[in-house]
Chains A and B, each alone.
Chain A
Amino acid sequence: MFAALANPDRFMAFSRWAAPALGVIAAVLIVAGLAYSFSAPPDYQQHETVRIMFIHVPAAWLSMFAYACLGGAGFLSLVYRHALADMAARAVAPLGAAFTALALVTGSLWGRPTWGTWWVWDARLTSELVLLLLYLGYLALRAALDDEVKAGRAAAILALVGLINLPIVHFSVYWWNSLHQGASTFGAAKGAGLPPVYLIPLALMGLGYTALFGCLWLVRIRAEVWRRRAQVLSLRLAEG
C-alpha cells in the first residue's frame, strides 16, 4: 500500500476521498465523545476535573504518534529518497507540535487542581516538553535552509535522532518517581484501569482525534504536493 501511495498521482486520487471520509468520521466521534464526556459522573478524587482527561490524553497520544510518523517519514525520505515521504514529514510536524502544546497546556490545567501545581520538572512533563522542542527544532531547521533537499535531509536526521525521546516519554512514569499517573488504559496494572463510564468517552475522543489527525495530515500532504507542482510550473515559466 505504501509503495502504491508513494506515487503522488495515486496519493492524490486516494486522499481526495480518504481525507473527507476521515473528517466526517472524526466529527461524529468527537461530538459523541463530548456528549459522553459531559454525561460522565465526577470522579471521587478528581471531581469534575476528570473531564480534562478526555482532551488531554488524546492530545498526548497524538503528540507521540505524530512524532513516530515524522520519524518514519524521515527515514523513508532519507533512505529511499521518496519525495512524498519528505512531503509527509514536512506536513506532519506542525500537527505534532500543536498536539504536543495542547497536551502540555491541558495537562497543566489539569495538574493545578489535582496536584496543586501548574508545572513540575517531572520526568513525564519534561520529556514531553523536550518533544515539543524537537518539533520546533525540526520546523526551524526546515525553515532555515533555502535548499529544500538539504533542509529535508538535515531535518530527517534530527527527526530520527529525536525518536529516542519517545520511549523516554512513554516509560518515564515507570523509570523515575513521577507525580504523573501510570497507564490507565493499555498496559494498566490490575485494578488501575479506567471504568467503562470513563473509558467510553476517552476511546471516542481518542479515535476522533486520531481520525482528525489523519484527515489533516492527508490535507496538508495534498497542499505540499500542489505547492511543489506550483514551484515546478514557476520554474518552467521563468525558463520560457
Chain B
Amino acid sequence: MHISFEVGRYGPYIWPAFGLSGLVLAALIGHSLASVRHWRREVERLQSQADAKTK
C-alpha cells in the first residue's frame, strides 16, 4: 500500500472536504462526551444534596 497525499490541482476541493468532515466529527464527539459528563456530575451533585437533606 502506497499512501500519497499528492492531489495536484484538486487540493482546494479535497482538503476542505476532509478538513470539515474531521472538524464536524471531532465537534460531535467532544460535545457528546462533554454533555454526558456534565449531566452525570449534575446528578451526583444533586444526589449528594438530597442525601445530606435526609440525614
In residues 101-135 of chain A, which contact B (Cβ within 8 Å)? Answer: 101-102, 105-106, 109-110, 112-113
Q: Does A229 contact B (CB under 8 A)?
A: yes
Q: Interface residues of B toward A: which range? A: 20 to 34
Q: Does A190 contact B (CB under 8 A)?
A: no
Shortest C-beta distance, A209 to chain B (Å), equals: 8
Shortest C-beta distance, B3 to chain A (Å), equals: 5
Contacts of A109 in B (CB 8 A): 13-14, 16-17
User: B29 contacts which of A51, A106, A216, A227 (Cβ < 8 Å)?
Assistant: A216
Could you count the A-B residue pairs with CB atoms below 8 Å apart for me: how many are there?
A: 95
A-B interface, 10 closest residue pairs, ranked by CB to CB distance from nearest: A226-B39, A233-B46, A223-B36, A223-B35, A48-B7, A48-B10, A109-B17, A230-B42, A219-B32, A106-B17
Q: Which residues of A contact B (CB under 8 A)?
A: 35-36, 38-39, 47-49, 51-52, 55-56, 59, 94-95, 98, 101-102, 105-106, 109-110, 112-113, 212, 216, 219-220, 222-223, 226-227, 229-230, 233-234, 236-237, 240
Can you report 16 residue pairs joining A to B where beta carbons are below 8 Å apart?
Answer: A38-B3, A47-B8, A47-B10, A51-B14, A55-B17, A55-B21, A102-B20, A106-B20, A109-B14, A110-B17, A220-B36, A223-B39, A227-B39, A229-B43, A230-B39, A237-B53
